[in-house]
């Protein structure tokens, strides 16, 4: 029996660890492997605890060990008697496209019709080796000019974000602060209101939003405590509405019986107020919710199967109504590779308590009246099954079917015309409220991605949804059909282009127009909004690695369609500008 040296043993051990299967039978007396008595029962699955630490200066006890000989050497150099200066050595050139130069900072500025202005800036400043300051500034504005708008339709949206990140030996961290200021107008008032021209002119439809946020995060390596994030946001408007929102999400990760366990916690707190109800400026609306959640899950992988199984428990406290609720949600996600990267099937069941906030709702529809009732949405479950993969190396796909059940789903619905003399800018049949309904949704989704060449990439997706509401007459402003087409084309080394198409199907809203309290001809009906196709095209020219010029055309297909009832959008828009990349 030949004795195996330590160096060979370590070599074998390393090979077995990387291959993932280790067969061994230890001889307790000799400490060697007896090849004649080796019996394989099952593949060995090593764990972290099985590994041993190799000593920095191991002792070699081997009959073949040879003593090292001392080697003495000297460097003898002399100048070369030549005036020839050789060129620096370099590798043979390989035919390939040069990689674009990367810069830490980016700025863009554009101007267009309707007095549209776009400005962007993204920058990074390396404070020291381990810390960096990031800056982000975006601005979009327009002076308006929509053909059939009866009131001022200008808008203004500016956001500034600062983040400071750093890293240490065992963790990374970051902090951020953000500011946002938005100005919109309730310009969707119709031209048939019982108002004179002077009364129309006296309407002030302008309203503004502001948001201030601060937050931080930490990500720890090799610790039971994995990471955590906290964020606070203050949001309000010029009607004395205000909202505070705090979100804390610590996450833990540890091993139990060789299985990886994740334990995530969440604290979601929101409180706010509106100084008035619709058509009743003396009544106040308040809301306050504290949602505490815990989400344990286990990750399992066996061959081509991967499984993430867990559950989420949420305890919700309604501070204004002294009403507490307990929720249990499934969190199961499975994926099985049937044919490698060419075909995989996946399925799962998901759910959660979605805390609606004034900020999120106003970003979805900026023409809300400041008279809302805020409550969370209980997504009881979202059951889905699908398949994804590749047809060829250049064509990938993803198809999915799902069934979702939601309680108290927030729907945008048009406010009625005030039966009393309008006092506020949003009471002129030109604002939106929220309607909550229990909605079941069946959805089919499909997506294709084409990498036609290194220069052309195309992505196409579409979804069809069938909604079933319980209390409301319709599932207001939810389209059944939605589709997107995105394409990017590098025409030449200098020229590039892109296109995007957005299709939104028909939606329905509630039309409730009562000019006076006692008018017999008051109109109440379901208003159907037509589908629209928003087509956009951009072309650019790269002057050099830093400076580029662009021209954009937006809404090239449909004209001034209505995104919301009464709210037509700007027709054909053309914008030109330039972008510049640089380092400090």
Write the DSSP assignment of 504-518 as a string of letters: E--EEEEEEE-SSTT
Can you give the pLDDT at residue 255? 85
Can you give the pLDDT at residue 28? 39
Assign 516 a pLDDT band (cuts: 50, 70, 90): low
Assign 422 a pLDDT band (cuts: 50, 70, 90): low
Question: Of 500, 510, 360, 505, whose CA–CA distance to 443 is shortest?
Answer: 505
Contacts of 100 (CB under 8 A, 6+ apart): 545
Contacts of 48 (CB under 8 A, 6+ apart): 255
Q: Residue 396 pLDDT more than 70?
A: yes
Q: Residue 39 pLDDT more than 90?
A: no
Query: pTM for this structure?
Result: 0.81
CB 177 within 8 A of CB 164: no
Q: How does pLDDT run across 441-458, given as a tens digit for each residue?
A: 999 999 999 998 889 999
Mean pLDDT of 103-117: 95
Q: Residue 286 pLDDT more than 50?
A: yes
Cα–Cα distance for residue pair 245/228, rounded to 1 Å:
17
Instruction: Please tell me the least confidently modeled range out of 5-9, 126-130, 379-383, 426-430.
Output: 5-9
Can you give the pLDDT at residue 213? 98
**Residues present in the chain in total:** 584
Q: Residue 409 pLDDT more than 60?
A: yes
> What average pLDDT does the chain have?
85
DSSP labels for 219-288? Answer: EESSSSEEEEEEEEEEEEETTS-EEEEEEEEEEEEEEETTEEEEEEEEEEEEEEEES-BTTBTT--EEEE
Q: Residue 84 pLDDT more than 60?
A: no
CB 166 within 8 A of CB 195: no
Can you give the pLDDT at residue 390? 95
Q: How does pLDDT run across 170-196, given as a tens digit for each residue?
A: 999 999 999 999 999 999 999 988 888
Mean pLDDT of 95-119: 82
Q: Residue 26 pLDDT more than 80?
A: no
Instruction: Please tell me the least confidently modeled range out of 59-73, 132-146, 277-291.
Output: 59-73
Per-residue burial over 140-178, b = 16 or more CB atoms within 10 Å of its CB, e = otherwise: bbbebebeebbbebbbbbeeebebbbeeeeeeebbebeb
Cα–Cα distance for residue pair 147/151, rounded to 1 Å:
11
Mean pLDDT of 51-79: 44
Mean pLDDT of 512-533: 79
CB 160 within 8 A of CB 178: yes
Can you give the pLDDT at residue 521? 53
Assign 316 a pLDDT band (cuts: 50, 70, 90): very high
Mean pLDDT of 392-412: 97
Can you give the pLDDT at residue 83? 35
Mean pLDDT of 291-297: 97
User: Kind and range of the H or E element at 198?
Assistant: helix 197-202
Cα–Cα distance for residue pair 548/103, rounded to 1 Å:
14
User: Kind and range of the H or E element at 12?
Assistant: helix 6-19
Assign 203 a pLDDT band (cuts: 50, 70, 90): very high
Q: How does pLDDT run across 432-441, given as a tens digit for each residue?
A: 999 999 999 9
What is the percent of the chain where pLDDT is above 90?
A: 71
Can you give the pLDDT at residue 76? 40
Q: Residue 250 pLDDT more than 60?
A: yes
What is the percent of the chain where pLDDT is above 70?
A: 80
Q: How does pLDDT run across 321-355, given as a tens digit for each residue?
A: 999 999 999 999 999 999 999 999 999 999 999 99
Cα–Cα distance for residue pair 539/12, rounded to 1 Å:
58
């Amino acid at each position: 029996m030949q004795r195996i040296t330590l160096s060979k043993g370590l070599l074998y051990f390393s090979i077995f660890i990387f291959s993932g299967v280790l067969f061994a039978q230890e001889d307790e007396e000799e400490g060697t492997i007896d090849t004649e008595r080796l019996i394989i029962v099952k593949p060995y699955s090593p764990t972290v605890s099985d590994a041993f630490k190799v000593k920095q200066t191991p002792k070699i006890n081997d009959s073949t060990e040879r003593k090292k000989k001392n080697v003495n050497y000297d460097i003898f150099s002399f100048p070369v008697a030549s005036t020839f200066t050789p060129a620096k050595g370099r590798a043979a050139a390989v035919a390939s496209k040069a990689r674009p130069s990367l810069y830490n900072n980016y700025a863009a500025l554009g101007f267009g019709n309707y007095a549209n202005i776009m400005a962007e800036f993204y920058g990074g400043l390396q404070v020291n080796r381990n810390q960096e300051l990031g800056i982000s500034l975006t601005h979009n504005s327009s002076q308006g000019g929509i053909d059939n708008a009866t009131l001022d339709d200008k808008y203004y949206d500016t956001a500034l974000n600062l983040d400071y990140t750093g890293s240490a030996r065992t963790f990374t961290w970051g902090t951020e602060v953000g500011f946002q200021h938005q100005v919109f107008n309730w310009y969707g008032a119709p031209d048939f209101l019982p108002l004179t021209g002077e009364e129309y002119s006296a309407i002030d439809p302008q309203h503004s939003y502001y948001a201030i946020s601060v937050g931080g995060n930490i990500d720890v390596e090799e610790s039971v405590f994995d990471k955590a994030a906290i964020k606070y946001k203050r949001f309000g408007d010029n009607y004395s509405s205000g909202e505070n929102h705090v979100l804390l999400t610590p996450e833990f990760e540890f091993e139990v019986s060789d299985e990886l366990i994740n334990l995530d916690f969440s604290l979601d707190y929101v409180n706010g107020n509106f100084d008035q109800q619709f058509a009743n400026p003396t009544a106040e609306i308040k809301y306050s919710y504290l949602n505490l959640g815990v989400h344990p899950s286990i990750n399992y992988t066996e061959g081509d199967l991967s499984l993430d199984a867990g559950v989420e428990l949420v305890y919700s406290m309604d501070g204004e109504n002294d009403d507490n609720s307990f929720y249990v949600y499934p969190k199961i996600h499975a994926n099985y590779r049937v044919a490698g990267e060419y075909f995989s099937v996946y399925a799962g069941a998901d759910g959660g308590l979605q805390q609606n906030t004034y900020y999120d709702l106003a970003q979805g529809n900026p023409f809300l009246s400041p008279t809302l009732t805020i409550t969370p949405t209980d997504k009881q479950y979202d059951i889905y099954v699908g398949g994804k993969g590749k047809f060829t190396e250049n064509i990938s796909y993803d198809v999915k079917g799902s069934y979702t059940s939601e309680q108290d789903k927030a729907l945008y619905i048009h406010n009625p015309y005030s039966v009393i003399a309008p006092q506020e800018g949003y009471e002129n049949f030109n604002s939106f409220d929220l309607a909550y309904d229990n909605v079941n949704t069946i959805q089919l989704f499909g997506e294709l991605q084409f990498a036609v060449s290194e220069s052309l990439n195309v992505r196409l997706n579409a979804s069809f949804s069938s909604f079933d509401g319980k209390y409301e007459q319709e599932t207001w402003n939810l389209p059944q059909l939605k589709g997107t087409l995105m394409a990017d084309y590098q025409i030449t080394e200098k020229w590039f282009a892109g296109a995007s198409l957005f299709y939104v199907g028909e939606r329905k809203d509630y039309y409730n127009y009562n000019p006076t309290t006692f008018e017999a001809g008051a109109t109440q009906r379901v208003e159907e909004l037509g589908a629209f196709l928003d087509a956009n095209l951009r072309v650019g020219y790269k002057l050099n690695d830093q400076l580029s010029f662009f021209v954009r055309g937006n809404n090239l297909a449909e004209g001034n369609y209505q995104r919301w009832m009464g709210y037509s959008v700007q027709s054909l828009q053309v914008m030109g500008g330039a972008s510049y990349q640089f380092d400090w």
